[in-house]
């Protein structure tokens, strides 16, 4: 549920892809981390603050050139502001060329 809240409320996948100028076929999920502070509760309203915290150009086997993109979503109780979860995603985005 925390992932759905983070994805829908903070950083819709389509929006992230648009920001990264990436097509779905060029993206792989690399890592996914959940830090839970409190259980999410059905009926509660949550506020999500999502941000891209890093983009690193790398080289690899699956993608010769790719960006390692770290996206972090903080889920908080909308009434109290208390943090309930942090969802960290790492996407691997294939790039066709390496300008650097």
Asked if 29 interacts with other proteins (CB under 8 A), we say: yes
Please give the Cα distance from 29 to 89 (Å, whole number). Answer: 8
Task: Name the minimum Å distance from CB 100 to other proteins.
Answer: 26
Contact 50/71 with Cβ under 8 angstroms?
Answer: yes
Give the residue, chosen from 28, 55, 78, 82, that forms a contact with other proteins under the rule CB under 8 A: 28
Please give the Cα distance from 28 to 63 (Å, whole number). Answer: 10
Our CB check for other proteins shows the closer of 30 and 47 to be: 30
Asked if 65 interacts with other proteins (CB under 8 A), we say: no
Asked if 22 interacts with other proteins (CB under 8 A), we say: no
Contact 47/82 with Cβ under 8 angstroms?
Answer: no
Give the residue, chosen from 13, 47, 52, 76, that forms a contact with other proteins under the rule CB under 8 A: 13
């Amino acid at each position: 549920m925390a992932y759905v809240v983070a994805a829908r409320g903070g950083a819709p996948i389509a929006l992230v892809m648009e920001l990264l100028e990436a097509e779905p076929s060029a993206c792989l999920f690399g890592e996914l981390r959940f830090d839970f502070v409190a259980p999410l509760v059905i009926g509660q309203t949550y506020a999500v603050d999502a941000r891209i915290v890093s983009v690193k150009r790398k080289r690899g086997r699956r993608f010769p050139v790719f960006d390692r993109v770290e996206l972090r979503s903080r889920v908080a109780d909308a009434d109290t502001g208390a943090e309930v979860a942090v969802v960290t995603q790492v996407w691997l985005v294939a790039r066709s060329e390496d300008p650097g």
